[in-house]
Amino acid sequence: MKAKIAEIFKSTQGEGIYQGLEQVFIRFFGCNLKCKFCDTPLATYSEFGSSDLMDKITEYGQNYHSVSLTGGEPLLQHEFLKEILPLIRQKGLKTYLETNGILHQELSGVIQDIDIVAMDFKLPSSTGMPVFWPEHEKFLRIALKKEVFVKIVVLNSTREREVHRSISLIRSFNKDIPLVFQPEFSEMKQQELISKIQNYKNLAGQYLNNVSILLQQHKLEGIK
């Protein structure tokens, strides 16, 4: 089986609660969504078999936190993940899945070999996409078999009622699940967004125990 891989590189994680840690990034080609704030449009890819990809991962040694499976949306290639994930674990490496949090059936087939799930909540007012609450709920239920945190990208268009819905969904499972609000980088200097995201953090903090605002550090530092 071959996977479509856009790029492979070692860098520092720039988002979420593992920000600042070194990872090897495997960027899978293709996505099932077209979010209006997408910052990783992918135009080209190379094909890798599982042994070829493991050879590339092995070139980076083991002196880093984890292997980040990112995209695009990695779960679109879940059959390939079933092959490569056990091989990564056999090397004693942690696996870190970055996902839009929608493909719950695909997640169920690979969750046993995932260590950390970095899951987005895609709010309609922010993405310009349809509602995905049922998919997010089913996805989070499966992801809770392992370590998971939720990230919400906030734009000026983000609506408070959708943030309320997100908070309620997370709390219905476990109020200790970390929630990260991430300002959309292109709008980050706008005062309206700064005020809005702080209000959302304060709101979520009334119901959840681990809420933070984290910027896209790799963009601020100009690294990949």
Q: Work out the pLDDT band at 41, boundaries 50, 70, 90.
A: low
Count of structural domains, the chain: 1
User: What CATH number has the domain bearing residue 217?
Assistant: 3.20.20.70
State pLDDT tens for residues 1-34.
Answer: 899 999 999 999 999 999 999 999 999 999 888 8
Q: What is the structure's pLDDT at 194?
A: 85
State pLDDT tens for residues 149-206.
Answer: 999 999 989 999 999 999 999 999 999 999 999 998 776 667 788 889 999 999 999 9
Q: What percent of the chain is predicted at pLDDT more than 90?
A: 79
Q: What DSSP assignment string belongs to 167-216?
A: HHHHHHH-TTS-EEEEE-GGGTT-HHHHHHHHHHHHHHHTT-S-EEE---
Q: What is the structure's pLDDT at 218?
A: 60
Q: Between the CA of residue 130 and those of 36, 75, 111, what are the distances in Å?
A: 12, 19, 26
Nearest CA among 57, 141, 151, 153 for reference residue 107: 141
Domain of residue 199: give its range: 2-221
- For residue 152, count CB atoms less than 10 angstroms from its CB and return exposed for 0-12, middle for 13-18, buried for 19 or more: buried
